[in-house]
C-alpha cells in the first residue's frame, strides 16, 4: 500500500488477458469495467483502491507467477480473469497464499481441485450456461451437432456437457479435430455428417474466423447453423473481421433482458470509456469491484477477513443483487443467479444484438 493525497491505498491485483493468444478484446472490456468500478468506489470516499494490473495472455504459468508477484506487492485481494485455464492456475496459487480471489468471468466448473476458502466467482458455472445453450438448440430443432475443437480442458468440458445434455433427446455430438483438419477439412467432415450445427470450440480470431469464412462460402453447408457458445461474437473484433458472415452465430452472454438503473448508468460510462458498446465481460468487471469495495469497507484491508466474508456479500450489481453461496460441484463461493442469455448479431445490422433464449 502507498499514500495517495494523505490516504493509504488498498491494493487490488487484477488479472486479465491483454495480449494474444489471450482474447485481448475480453481483457480490455474486463479491465474497463474494473477501472470504472474503482473510479466510482474511490469517489464514494474511504481508503482509495489502487489497481495492480497484470496481463496473463491466457497462460496458466504466467497467471500463477502474477499471483506470486501481486502477493509480494501487498495486494489485499485479486480480481478478474476471463480464461478458465489461467483462472484455475491463479485460483490454486491464490488460495495457497491466503490471497482472496474474486474471479470475474471464467466459468469452468472445477475452477479449484477442492473446496477453496478464499476463491469466489461471479460468472455462472459452465454447466449452467452450456446447458442453457443446449436447451436453445433443442428448442430450435437441432439434435445432431459437430464441434470444431482445439485441445483444452475448457473446450473438452463444453463438448462433454453438450453431449450429456442432448443424449436423452436422441442428440449426438461429433468432435472435429481442428489442428488436424484445418478449415477446409472441417467443411468436408461437416458436409459428410448429419450435423445441422457447427459449434466453434476454438480461439478467436484464429482459427475461429477462417472456419466461419470457409463454412459461409461452402454451398454444401448453406443450411448449417454456426454457433459459438463461449461468446466470441460478443466482441467488436468479431464484427470487424467477419461483417455479415459473423451474424446469426448464437453465443452465450451473461446479461439480463433489461438493465437496472445502476446498469444503465454504468453502461453509459463504459461505452464512453471503451468507445463502443460494452460486453457482458465489462459488467462482470464492474460488479467484481462493487463486491470487493463493499467487503473492504466492512472488514478493512485484512485478507483473512475478506475471505471469511464471502457469504456476507449482499451487493447491488449492474445485473442484479449479488449474494454468494457454496455451489455443489464447484468448490468455491459462487453467485448462483447471474443472468444467462443466448444472443446473436442481427444479419440486417451486425452491430445490433438479438436475444434468442433466456436460461
pLDDT in tens, the chain (359 residues): 454 454 699 999 999 999 999 999 999 999 999 999 999 999 999 999 999 999 999 999 999 999 999 999 999 999 999 999 999 999 999 999 999 999 999 999 999 999 999 999 999 999 999 999 999 999 999 999 999 999 999 999 999 999 999 999 999 999 999 999 999 999 999 999 999 999 999 999 999 999 999 999 999 999 999 999 999 999 999 999 999 999 999 999 999 999 999 999 999 999 999 999 999 999 999 999 999 999 999 999 999 999 999 999 999 999 999 999 998 878 899 999 999 999 999 999 999 999 999 98
- Please, which residues have CB within 8 angstroms of residue 357's CB and are 6 or more apart in sequence? 132, 135, 136, 139, 341, 342
Are the C-beta atoms of residues 118 and 101 closer than 8 Å to each other?
Answer: yes
Element (DSSP H or E) covering residue 79: strand 77-80
Q: Per this entry, what is the length of the chain?
A: 359
Q: Within its chain, how far is the Cα of 240 from the centroid?
A: 21
Coarse DSSP helix, strand, coil percentages of the chain, rounded to the nearest 5 percent: 45, 20, 35
d(CA 183, CA 197): 15
Element (DSSP H or E) covering residue 157: helix 153-166
Q: How many CB atoms lie within 10 A of CB 63?
A: 27
Q: What is the dihedral of CA 149, 151, 157, 158, to 10 degrees?
A: -20
Task: Say what the pTM is.
Answer: 0.95
Amino acid at each position: 500500500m502507498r499514500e495517495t493525497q494523505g490516504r493509504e491505498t488498498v491494493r487490488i491485483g487484477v488479472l486479465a488477458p491483454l495480449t494474444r493468444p489471450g482474447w485481448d478484446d475480453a481483457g480490455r472490456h474486463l479491465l474497463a469495467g474494473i477501472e470504472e468500478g474503482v473510479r466510482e468506489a474511490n469517489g464514494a470516499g474511504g481508503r482509495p483502491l489502487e489497481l495492480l494490473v497484470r496481463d496473463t495472455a491466457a497462460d496458466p504459468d504466467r497467471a500463477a507467477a502474477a499471483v506470486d508477484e501481486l502477493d509480494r506487492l501487498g495486494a489485499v485481494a485479486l480480481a478478474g480473469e476471463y480464461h478458465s485455464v489461467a483462472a484455475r492456475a491463479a485460483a490454486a496459487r491464490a488460495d495457497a497464499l491466503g490471497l482472496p480471489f474474486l474471479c470475474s468471468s471464467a466459468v469452468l466448473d472445477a475452477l479449484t481441485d477442492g473446496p477453496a476458502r478464499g476463491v469466489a466467482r461471479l460468472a455462472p458455472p459452465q454447466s449452467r450456461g452450456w446447458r442453457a445453450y443446449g436447451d436453445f438448440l433443442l428448442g430450435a430443432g437441432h439434435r445432431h451437432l459437430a464441434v470444431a475443437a482445439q485441445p483444452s480442458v475448457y473446450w473438452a468440458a463444453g463438448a462433454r456437457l453438450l453431449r450429456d445434455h442432448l443424449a436423452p433427446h436422441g442428440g449426438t455430438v461429433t468432435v472435429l479435430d481442428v489442428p488436424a483438419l484445418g478449415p477446409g477439412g472441417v467443411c468436408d467432415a461437416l458436409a459428410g455428417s448429419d450435423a445441422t450445427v457447427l459449434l466453434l470450440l476454438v480461439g478467436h480470431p484464429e482459427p475461429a474466423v477462417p472456419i466461419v469464412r470457409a463454412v459461409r462460402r461452402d454451398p454444401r453447408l448453406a443450411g448449417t447453423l454456426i454457433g459459438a457458445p463461449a461468446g466470441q461474437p460478443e466482441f467488436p473484433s468479431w464484427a470487424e473481421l467477419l461483417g455479415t458472415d459473423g451474424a446469426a452465430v448464437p453465443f452465450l452472454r451473461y446479461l439480463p433482458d433489461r438493465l437496472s438503473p445502476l446498469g444503465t448508468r454504468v453502461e453509459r460510462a463504459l461505452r464512453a470509456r471503451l468507445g463502443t458498446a460494452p460486453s457482458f465481460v465489462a459488467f462482470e468487471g464492474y460488479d467484481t469491484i462493487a463486491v470487493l469495495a463493499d467487503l473492504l469497507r466492512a472488514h478493512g484491508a485484512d485478507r483473512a477477513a475478506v475471505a471469511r466474508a464471502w457469504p456476507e456479500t449482499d451487493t447491488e450489481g449492474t445485473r442484479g443483487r449479488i449474494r454468494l453461496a457454496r455451489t455443489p460441484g464447484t468448490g468455491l463461493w459462487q453467485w448462483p443467479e447471474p443472468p444467462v442469455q443466448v444472443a446473436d448479431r442481427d444479419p440486417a445490422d451486425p452491430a445490433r444484438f438479438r436475444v434468442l433464449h433466456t436460461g
